[in-house]
Structure 1
């Protein structure tokens, strides 16, 4: 009998500057999985001429993830995912494709470190800059005010005290190797 071959949909969620992108990129490379970064999707939409983006980036990402999961690819998603409705939509994508959903919330409990990370982050060419730029500290604080508490199962990774390598090791351990 073959083992369950269903792909995983691994959704990294959390406030800007917590370390989501660092961990998501590392995991996607480790798994050789598809990497979907919400910032890249939103940057592309803005640079294509949309005056602003809100739900459009998530709608595009749900469709792209579904397209990759159907043929069996594992997908790593990097997004803030602040609302129950967005979290539910990722669960719907997993349900429609038969994928295993793994929700990963990335937090940085050290507020001084969190602020330092946000304030020292700069848009890089590989971030598909243009009209998009990373949030500043006041924007990150506004994101925190609208970030809903989790009511669905998820794993939490705290990144405030470890190096990126240590945090990735902790993530792999949390995921079972």
Structure 2
């Protein structure tokens, strides 16, 4: 199956995705990692646009066709990006779960944004202004919402596991 995990930066996407991958043995695809590798190649001018997502879609579909579960983690900010992930699952003929991480406590979200450390060499993390002003469309369909504010990674992962078919 394809687990589509989106949400603003510093809401806990990567932390939850990694925990879920460890628990399930799923493949974790992180668009930030893919995009940084593309930038590091020196072959593509910034900004990358949809290139990182296109690579992630192709990798996810290949893994899904091999019978693997994939956790696709990205900000996934627009309806068009969400539709594209869903299309990957449909092409591969697998079920999917859409989930959004949120941090409902603005002070906690800001603290996380301002205290994060870079775990992908060369990746520039957005500051609080960039997080709060970036384009991010509200979700227009049913999906699992994981509020990570003041909750453990284990609790959030359990919520995701409980939602899986």
Q: Output the TM-score relative to the length of structure 1.
A: 0.87
Structure 2 alignment gaps of length 5 or more: none
Give the Cα–Cα distance (whole angstroms) in 2 for the partners of residues 174 and 160 of structure 1.
19
- What root-mean-square deviation, in Å, do the aligned CA atoms of Structure 1 and Structure 2 show? 1.3
Of 46, 60, 68 in structure 2, the residue corresponding to residue 65 of structure 1 is 60
After superposition, residues 103-142 of structure 1 pair within 5 angstroms as 103-124=98-119, 127=120, 129-130=121-122, 132-142=123-133
Please tell me whether residue 175 in structure 1 is matched to residue 164 in structure 2: yes
Q: Does structure 1 retain, via aligned residues, the 8 Å contact 2:19–2:153?
A: no
Q: How far is the alpha carbon of 1:175 from its aligned partner?
A: 3.5
Q: Output the TM-score relative to the length of structure 2.
A: 0.93
Q: How far is the alpha carbon of 1:141 from its aligned partner?
A: 1.1
Of 19, 39, 47 in structure 2, the residue corresponding to residue 46 of structure 1 is 39
Structure 1 alignment gaps of length 5 or more: 1-7
Please tell me whether residue 85 in structure 1 is matched to residue 80 in structure 2: yes
Give the Cα–Cα distance (whole angstroms) in 2 for the partners of residues 54 and 16 of structure 1.
17
CA offsets per residue over residues 53-99 of structure 1, 9 Å max, x none? 12111011000101101111100011000101011111111111001
Residue equivalent to 1:161? 150
Please tell me whether residue 149 in structure 1 is matched to residue 143 in structure 2: no
Larger radius of gyration: 1
CA offsets per residue over residues 129-156 of structure 1, 9 Å max, x none? 22x222111111122xx11111122111
Give the Cα–Cα distance (whole angstroms) in 2 for the partners of residues 41 and 95 of structure 1.
23
Query: Is the partner of 1:161 in helix, strand or coil?
Result: coil
Q: How far is the alpha carbon of 1:173 from its aligned partner?
A: 3.1
Give the Cα–Cα distance (whole angstroms) in 1 for the partners of residues 131 and 6 of structure 2.
14
Give the Cα–Cα distance (whole angstroms) in 1 for the partners of residues 36 and 96 of structure 2.
26
